[in-house]
Amino acid sequence: MSAKDIEWLLTNLVLVIALLAAFHGTRQVRLGDRTRQAYLHIAFGVGFCLLYATFSFAMAYMLHQSSELLDKPRYKQLPSDWGKTVLTPDEREKKSVGYAAAAFLGTGVLYKHFDREGNLRLFIPSQEQIEERERAAIIYSDVHYFAKARLFEGILWMLAPLLSVWYGFWVVRAKR
């Protein structure tokens, strides 16, 4: 069993306990047992769900901000006079190839780089760089997916205690 499986199991176990506590407390109050314990059950169940919903919304917001950052264009084609006066031809070639490789990894766009003579050449990635770009694209896609999943999870965690409390009232009403 992996750490993700254990985390999922514990999270859902606590969710079930919180929902049962809210349900049980509501049922007790509806039956006329208005004790501190019944209200604590409701408070624990609803409070835990709302706390976790807040955490999910915060994670969704942070992941959404990260995905927006990843979507912004970060690279531009180097100007023709870039580093001409400051760098030697070897340094200029090496740094412009590094820039083009980083731009390819970040965006998937092929930019031009300088050769030793100062001519612009189209960057041609190696097979290893293409595979690395594919992995980066998968990660970018996962960030978008996880942001939406956390938002949906937060909405569910907000609605779950309301349904639990409503069901607690409904069960007692049906018995009467």
Q: How many CB atoms lie within 10 A of CB 77?
A: 14
Query: Which single residue is written with the structure tokens 């969704």?
Result: 60
pLDDT of residue 175: 65
pLDDT of residue 72: 83
Tens of pLDDT along the chain (176 residues) come to 888 889 889 888 988 999 999 999 999 998 888 899 999 999 999 999 999 999 999 999 999 999 888 888 888 999 988 888 888 989 999 999 999 999 999 888 999 999 988 889 999 999 999 999 999 999 989 999 999 999 999 999 999 999 998 988 888 776 66
- Residue type (1 letter), 96: S
* Closest listed residue to residue 151, CA positions, set 35, 56, 64: 56
pLDDT of residue 111: 94
Contact (Cβ atoms closer than 8 angstroms) between residue 79 and residue 102: no
pLDDT of residue 169: 85
Phi and psi at residue 113, in whole multiples of 5°? -130, 170
Name the pTM for this structure. 0.73
Going from N- to C-terminal start, the domains of the chain cover 3-175
pLDDT of residue 110: 93
DSSP-assigned beta bridge partners for residue 122: 112
- Residue type (1 letter), 155: I
From residue 67, alpha-carbon distances to 24, 60, 63 in Å are 41, 10, 6
Q: How far apart are CA 142 and CA 133, in angstroms?
A: 14
Question: Which H or E element spans position 87?
Answer: none
